[in-house]
Amino acid sequence: MIAGPLLTLSFSALVLAALAGRRWPRTWLALTVAGSGVALAAALLVLFGTTDWEWRGTVAFGGELPHLRLDGLSAIFLALVGVLGGAGAVYAHEYWSDASHPTSAPRGRAWWSVLVLSMMLVLTIANGLHFLLAWESFAIAAFFLITLDSGARAVRSAGWLYLAASHAGTLALFAFFALLAERTGSWDLGPMRAQAGLQPLFWLAMLGFGVKAGLFPLHVWLPSAHANAPTHVSAIMSGAAIKMGVYGLVRFSGWLPVPVSAAWVLVIVGSLSALLGIAFAFAQGDLKRLLAYCSVENVGIILVGVGGALLAVADGDSPWGRLVLAGALFHVWNHGLFKGLLFFGAGSVLHATGTREMSRLGGLWRRLPWTAASFAIGCLAVAGLPPLNGFVSEWLVYLGLFDAVTSHGATAWAAIFAALMLGSAGALALASFVKAGSMVFLGAPRGRAAAQAHEAGRAMRGAMLLLAALCVGLGLAPTLVWRALARGVAAWHPAWTVAPVPGALQAIGGTQLALAMLLPAVGWFAWRKMHGRTARRALTWDCGFAAPTARMQYSSASFAGIASGWFRWILRPRLTLRRPRGLMPTRAFRLERIPETMLDLVIVPIGGLIMQTASGARRLQHGSLQAYILYVVAGLVALGAMVLGAGIR
Amino acid sequence: MRDLNLLIGLAMGLNLVALGSSRLPSIIRATALQGVLLGIMPLLLEHDFGWQVVAVAVATAIGKGVVIPGLLQRAMRAAHIEREVEPFIGFVPSLLLGAFGTIAALAVARSLPLLPEHAKSLLVPGALASMLTGFVLLIGRVKAISQVCGYLIFENGIYLFGLLLIGSTPLLVEAGVLLDLTVGIFVIGIIVDRIQRAFDSLDTRKLTVLRE
């Protein structure tokens, strides 16, 4: 099969790119794009073909024989990494160029290739030991990419937080793979659903991969890392890197026997992630932070799908599980694409204006028309509106959940709960992206930076347009995608072999197409309507105030005011207020900051406790010989007492 | 058996002398005397001893009673110190600890499941008390030389335990232990010299600057 040579080609291109990246930017670009494209081709070959690709090496590496495997499930994720790895490289070529970042750009190029390569390895390796190695190199490459701009304090602390969280997760994975190897007698990975004794191990996998995926209570590293990283890095982190955690969860929930309680936890935690993630996103004033929290929401949606599929399996292989899982897998693609697109757009805005604060932006659509248009497409897609791809995948998840409501017992309640949570999250997502889009691109510029912005260059625009086109294309042709999704579903659960395209999906495909046809017509009609008459330009009604300024527009906090009030109990906004005083008030302001609630109120105190305990133990080791001898004596006396006690009893 | 117990009792008394004195020469002397007493003990235990037992006894007495104390005294003179000035555990508390330890050793030995022929002898409590004394010296003293004495007394305790098994332990093992000990003291003597040169003092508290 041809996928093998293609992957070899792709991997070697990426290795060469990592080596060439420091010196020759153009060679690096060509090699990285080629490597990513070839990997994408390999993934599509497997997805639209009928056979999986598998290869076992004969030369041991680290005491284990290499074992690579590309089946429907890994291919879905590999395709996404291919697209984002290539598009991000094109974007980075202009966004983080040698001219603008002379010291960090060479480093950034090399690490980018390493990151893409190690993610591809994570997706294809089927040996626990090698998986851990690839996983670690992936985490480290991501760390160096996040901290490319290491001069800034916020960037460094975001990087350390990411590294610490990532390694906390890796620790769980070490335990997971070691215990797995111990119980199965081999590091080789593969389907092992029949061995019921492995059930408890899934919890470890859930912890380890959950940290990387950014599940709600474990997401603490995600907002700051994604907001402070260079934007092309945020795009691949949010679009592809957190999907590695999702991949781990999907992969091992398919291979391992999963306790039913874990499926419940996935559904509940996924729903909470979706709702709270988007609630946090809505309240943010920082554009990239908003996008980062929105990733927490989307991972929640995906995991609701995975948990739902697990519940369906436990429920006697109910057919609706197929739909939720296909929806989840499709959402993996879609979220990767539109989140990449949105981050690219945010990067273009940041590049043009130098700020991520939405309250300083505004009116950019006139100056950045390409960015505005592609960002708008991204907003529509992420809000789950037809006729774009986000709608289709969420629709599949909803379809599955609605089917599940008709089943009996507790599963129906889980489905009702999840559907309600996802529905509320969807509404908030719409509001969040209305806010993001309108704050940044509509209205009048709120500051000088926004008024003097300039459009991004060809490479950045090209990367954005590619992802926008993919968002539209996947939305209009969902039936084409179904075959690939069905391959992924069949790889996850062999009993759910390739099925015909569900009627609902066919119907939605037609509707989407009709809508898409209709939209230009409506647009043209509206344009005619507006420009047919002579427009009269005047101030809007302004309560009689004769000199309005751009600062009198809605700010991002006032836009989100009411809805973030509903989530005040968890957002805990910090308010600094100075009311206008006297007859001639001079200075007055209202400052609202949303802290990292989970980090500040949960993780930091726990970390402090561990730190205290640890430094208490550290005090025992002080270099005093006498005290060390005392420890020996105490130990000996304790041992003697134990032996004596045992002897007397 | 009575003679042996008398000697062990004397050794236990010397433990207390070592604990209670602040002058280094008297600690070294107490240790040396204890070593000689220990050297005599095998002769009392074995009724029909051959030349090997005599050799070990003589070697032990000379090694522990003359050679090692001689080395220590040289080190002491080279380092120009005479007294333990500010110990971690004061002399009176050390004495109390030693006395308490001796009583506890007697009590513990009673509850140990010993062979009937050892039940009456002071070997086990003596060994325990010496080891405890050694530990107190090691923990409570600051100067390297008194710590070496503590180590020696500790070793004497182990030797006393070894006497329980004299019937079944080959003498070669005893000789080996003695050799080990002598080499150990040599090494410590060299280290003491190095500490003295590096820190201008034999205060082991100063070694804490070497951590990490």
pLDDT in tens, A569-622: 888 888 888 888 888 888 888 888 888 888 888 888 998 999 999 888 888 877
Residues of B with Cβ-Cβ distance to A637 under 8 angstroms: none
Distance CA A567, CA A573 (A): 10
B138 CB within 8 Å of a chain A CB: yes
State pLDDT tens for residues B38-92.
888 888 876 666 777 788 788 888 888 888 888 888 878 877 777 777 788 888 9
User: What is the rounded average pLDDT of the residues B137-160?
Assistant: 85
Cross-chain residue pair B111–A627, CB shorter than 8 Å: no
Cα torsion at B87, B90, B96, B101 (round to 10°)? -20
Of B32, B1, B10, the C-alpha closest to B148 is B32
pLDDT score recorded for residue B48: 67
Encoded amino acid at A399, one letter: L
Rounded CA separation A612/B202 (Å): 35
The minimal CB distance from B139 to the residues A622, A630, A644 is found for A630
Cα–Cα dist B191/B186, whole Å: 9
- Return the pLDDT at B3: 82
Q: What is the pLDDT of residues A64-118, one digit of tens each?
A: 899 999 999 999 999 999 999 999 999 999 999 988 889 899 999 999 999 999 9
**pLDDT digits 0-9 by tens, B119-135:** 778 888 999 999 899 98
Q: Which amino acid is at B1?
A: M
Closest CA to A78 of A231, A211, A247, A235: A247
HSE at residue A569, side-chain half, CA atoms within 13 A, is 2
| 8 Å CB contact between A283 and A570 | no
pLDDT at B172: 65
Q: Which residue has the tokens 């329980």?
A: B164
Chain A residue numbers with beta carbons less than 8 Å from the beta carbon of B204 are 625-626
- What's the pLDDT tens digit per position in A406-460? 877 888 888 999 999 999 999 999 999 999 999 999 888 888 888 888 888 899 9
Average of per-residue pLDDT across A450-472: 90
**Would you give the distance in Å from CA B151 to the centre of its chain?**
6
> Hey, CA dihedral for B153, B154, B155, B159, is it positive or negative?
positive
- pLDDT single digits (tens) A169-201: 999 999 999 999 999 989 999 888 888 888 899
Instruction: Decide: A374 and A464 in contact? Cβ < 8 Å.
Output: yes
Please name the member of A623, A630, A647 whose beta carbon is closest to the beta carbon of B210.
A623
Cβ–Cβ under 8 Å, residues A56 and A308: no
* φ/ψ (deg, to 5) at A50: -125, -15
Q: What are phi and psi of A578, to 5 degrees?
A: -130, 110
The token duo for B95 is: 């004495």
Asked whether residue B197 carries a pLDDT value surpassing 80, the answer given is no
Greater pLDDT, A621 or A331: A331
- Nearest chain A CA: its distance from B27 CA (Å): 18
Q: Give the pair of three-digit tokens for residue A478.
A: 């969902």
> Quick one: pLDDT at residue B169?
66
Question: What is the model's pTM?
Answer: 0.80
Distance of alpha carbon A304 from alpha carbon A327, whole angstroms: 10
DSSP H/E element including A593? strand A589-593
Taking an 8 Å cut-off on Cβ atoms, the answer to whether A633 and B108 are in contact is: no
Q: How many alpha carbons fall within 13 Å on the CB side of residue A492?
A: 34
Q: Would you call A446 helix, strand, or coil by DSSP?
A: coil
How far apart are alpha carbons A348 and A306 in whole angstroms? 34
Lowest mean pLDDT segment, chosen from A366-370, A387-391, A560-564, B50-54 = B50-54
pLDDT of res. A318? 80
Does the pLDDT of residue B138 top 60, yes or no? Answer: yes
Task: Kindly report the number of other CB atoms within 10 A of residue A549's CB atom.
Answer: 9
Determine the Cα–Cα distance for residues A61 and A228; give it in Å rounded to an integer. Answer: 37
* pLDDT value at A547 more than 80: no
Q: What percent of chain A stands above pLDDT 90?
A: 57
Q: Do B207 and A626 touch (CB under 8 A)?
A: no
On the question of pLDDT at A542 being above 70, the answer is no
Which residue out of B130, B131, B135 would a mutagenesis test of the A interface target, given it has the greatest number of A Cβ atoms within 10 Å? Answer: B135
Q: Least CB-CB distance to A623: which of B112, B138, B211? A: B211
Q: Give CA–CA dist A370/A152, Å, rounded.
A: 30
For residues A343 and A232, give the distance between their C-alpha atoms in angstroms, rounded to a whole number: 7
DSSP A282-349: HH-SBHHHHHHHHHHHHHHHHHHHHHHHHHHHHTTS-THHHHHHHHHHHHHHHHHHHHHHHHHHHHHH
Q: At what angle do helices A201-213 and A242-255 cross, to 10 degrees?
A: 160
Task: Give the mean model confidence (pLDDT) for residues A521-539.
Answer: 77
**Among A35-49, A228-242, A328-342, B85-99, whose mean pLDDT is lowest?**
B85-99
